[in-house]
Amino acid sequence: MKIKQLIVILALIALLLTGCSRQSTTSANDTAGTQGSEAVGATSAPTANPTEAETAAPTIAPANVDPDATYEYEVREIWTENNGNRIYGEAYIPITDGRSPLILFSHGLGSNHESGESYAKKVAPRGFAVYTWDFPGGSSANNENRSDGNNLEMSVMTEASDLDAIIETAKTWDFVDTDRIFLAGGSQGGLVTAIGGVRHEDEVAGLILLYPAFGMAMLGDRYSDDMPDEIQISSMTVGKPFFKDLIGYDVRDEIPNFDKPVIIIQGSEDNLVLPSVSREAADLYPDCEYKLIEGAGHGFSGEEHDIATEYALDFLFRHI
């Protein structure tokens, strides 16, 4: 009887141990599945009394961007905020082995984030992340703007402030190499980019300016004595802040102190931003390349767009 009892007891113990093992395996698998399906931006519940090692963020090394490689990329919607306005943007993120160089693209007057999208689709496969957004109040009725704000409150300086906020926020994104952040922009967005460069010289690696609207500085002085409540500029209706914020300010007075590398890409037939104005600005920067695309106007498309992109990529690979 004692031997039989011992056998029964051992069998019960084995059964209990098997059950515990199965339960532990199931819990681990369930946990892994939850983490794997977690949405971007979601927050996991904290463990009880986590140690310092458990709470430390993992260190991700900068990606080694190979000029001869082609990368897959993902597109992620990212909202930021500034002065009470929510700002909609899209990030094009190459799938690499580490944090990627980042290009922050500012669109021109009346446009939206889609003006940077065409460049992002060509640049992200080469290993560079791109973030392009809708400036609050910065789009015409013909272009959808998903950000807050309205046209009558928008100005070059409100957009420069938005860029300030986006630069600070971008430094917290998990895919960004914060030592390799470049600013880029076209037309009014190029002017905003130049202002952002002056304000954040220690935080950016360089500037890419497409037909930058440096000549807009004269608009403030032009309307300083008789400032309209509203006025039509191109496809946009803008208000007093647009002119008031430009009075007495010209970023060209400051760019000679910007020592980071710059490239200005300009169309030879641009009748809105004259090539002579861009050429003069290029001469003011201590370290600036000037590229003139023959036959191109204000904005690039087709072959001109391809040429501009290759100029930008060559610049980026030489300065990362």
Which of 29-33, 72-76, 89-93, 126-130 is least confident?
29-33
Residue 74 has pLDDT above 90, yes or no: yes
CA dihedral 169, 172, 177, 180 (to 10 degrees): 30
Reading phi first (left if > 0) and then psi (alpha if -120 to 50, else beta), residue 273 is in beta
In 171-294, alpha helices (H) = 188-199, 217-222, 240-244, 275-284
- Residue 176 CB-density burial (10 A; 0-12 exposed, 13-18 middle, 19+ buried): buried
Contacts of residue 121, Cβ cutoff 8 Å, sequence gap at least 6: 92
The CA angle 268-194-167, to the nearest 5 degrees, is 130
**Confidence (pLDDT) at 304:** 97
Q: Which pair of tokens denotes residue 40?
A: 């971007």
8 Å CB contact between 193 and 218: no
> For 263-291, what is each residue's pLDDT tens digit?
999 999 999 999 999 999 999 999 999 99
> For 170-206, what is each residue's pLDDT tens digit?
999 999 999 999 999 999 999 999 999 999 999 999 9
Mapped onto helix, strand or coil, the DSSP state of residue 28 is helix
Q: Tell me the domains of the chain and their CATH numbers.
A: 73-218+250-318 (3.40.50.1820)
Tally of CB atoms within 10 A around 175: 19
In angstroms, rounded to a whole number, what is the distance separating the alpha carbons of residues 217 and 250? 5
Report the relative pairing of strands 288-293 and 262-267 from DSSP bridges.
parallel
Tally of CB atoms within 10 A around 214: 23
Q: Sorting pLDDT into bands at 50, 70 and 90, what band is 63?
A: confident
Q: Which pair of tokens denotes residue 156?
A: 């070059």
In angstroms, rounded to a whole number, what is the distance separating the alpha carbons of residues 23 and 99? 38
Q: Which pair of tokens denotes residue 141?
A: 């009725």
Residue-by-residue DSSP string for 91-109: EEEE--SSBEEEEEEE--T
In angstroms, rounded to a whole number, what is the distance separating the alpha carbons of residues 247 and 190? 19
Work out the percent of the chain whose per-residue pLDDT is above 90.
Answer: 70
In angstroms, rounded to a whole number, what is the distance separating the alpha carbons of residues 105 and 116? 6
**Confidence (pLDDT) at 313:** 98
Contacts of residue 55, Cβ cutoff 8 Å, sequence gap at least 6: none
8 Å CB contact between 128 and 99: no
Furthest C-alpha separation in the chain: 111
Place of tokens 């036959």: 295
Amino acid at 81: E
Work out the percent of the chain whose per-residue pLDDT is above 70.
Answer: 81
Single pTM value for the model: 0.81
